[in-house]
């Protein structure tokens, strides 16, 4: 199972990916999580990436592409992977195709989790993330329902940054829907429903 997840920030890609990982044991490769870990660890990449992330802008392609190449080479990703938050633009998508071809691998499908922008703004404003395990919850979760850890609001989930992230999505990332449709591997689910219902559709769309 080699999958790319598409959808606006806050569409529920990470949540659906976590379910697929738990049920099918594939590697979850979230470039947002990898970049946040780099920022937290104070690495050279983290220092370079932070200013773009805080502004809701895309981190430069070369930084993200190297990160993904390294991750795809790890053993757990050889069995299959779910890319979450990558590719974010056409350059990244074309590079991904050519890197996978070098590894004699290819994508099975691109899964779009489709949610209207107005719903996204509401969701992102109330999104809270667990500092310890990365669980995604809401402002109603005082502590993480999964591990009891501290819930916090990501800097880029604050109102000033949300609109910019959506604009970046519309301009740079949404053209990938047509890119993958053109390759005949696009499938889509309505993401504006309860998580379990979306997941049932995800499995059906992926033929699982
Ligand atoms: P996410 O958790 O996927 O919403 O990503 C959070 C932030 O990390 C984004 O707003 C970007 O600044 C950065 N980021 C994540 N993935 C990418 C990517 N594929 N290309 C460029 N920047 C990215």
Number of structural domains, the chain? 1
Long-range CB contact pairs, 93-97, < 8 A, 24+:
93/176, 93/179, 93/180, 95/61, 95/65, 96/4, 96/68
Distance 41 CA to ligand 1 centre (A): 17
Domain-located, residue 11: yes
pLDDT at 79: 86
Residue 90 has pLDDT above 90, yes or no: yes
Domain-located, residue 201: yes
Domain-located, residue 107: yes
Strand residue runs (E) in 87-192: 109-114, 127-130, 136-138, 151-152, 186-190
Identify the band that residue 117 occupies on the pLDDT scale cut at 50, 70 and 90.
confident
Q: Are 126 and 139 in contact (CB under 8 A)?
A: yes
Q: What is the residue range of 33's domain?
A: 2-115+173-206
Domain-located, residue 28: yes
Domain-located, residue 128: no
Domain-located, residue 100: yes
Catalytic residues: 13, 88, 127, 154, 165
Residue 72 has pLDDT above 90, yes or no: yes
Strands 151-152 and 127-130: antiparallel
CB-defined site of ligand 1, < 6 Å: 9, 31-32, 35, 52-53, 56-59, 64, 85-86, 88, 92, 156, 165
Helix (H, G, I), strand (E, B) or coil at 9: coil
Domain-located, residue 62: yes
pLDDT tens for each residue of 118-155: 899 999 999 999 999 999 999 999 999 999 999 999 98
Distance 147 CA to ligand 1 centre (A): 25
Domain-located, residue 155: no
Q: What is the CATH classification number for the domain harbouring 92?
A: 3.40.50.300
Strands 81-84 and 27-30: parallel
């Amino acid at each position: 199972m080699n999958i790319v997840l598409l959808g606006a920030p806050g569409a529920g890609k990470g949540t659906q990916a976590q379910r697929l990982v738990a049920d099918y044991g594939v590697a979850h490769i979230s470039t947002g999580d990898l970049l946040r870990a780099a920022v937290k660890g104070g690495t050279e990449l983290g220092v370079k990436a932070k200013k773009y992330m805080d502004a809701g802008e895309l981190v430069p392609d070369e930084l993200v592409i190297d990160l993904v190449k390294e991750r795809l080479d790890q053993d757990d990703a050889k069995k299959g992977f779910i890319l979450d938050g990558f590719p974010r633009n056409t350059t990244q998508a074309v590079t991904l195709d050519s890197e996978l071809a070098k590894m004699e691998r290819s994508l099975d499908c691109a899964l779009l989790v489709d949610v209207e922008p107005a719903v996204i703004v509401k969701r992102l404003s109330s999104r809270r993330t667990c500092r310890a395990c990365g669980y995604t919850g809401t402002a109603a979760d005082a502590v993480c329902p999964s591990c009891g850890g501290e819930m916090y609001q990501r800097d880029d989930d604050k109102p000033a940054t949300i609109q910019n992230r959506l604009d970046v999505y519309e301009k740079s990332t949404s053209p990938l829907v047509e890119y993958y449709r053109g390759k005949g591997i696009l499938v889509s689910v309505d993401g504006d429903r309860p998580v379990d219902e979306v997941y049932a559709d995800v499995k059906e769309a992926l033929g699982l």
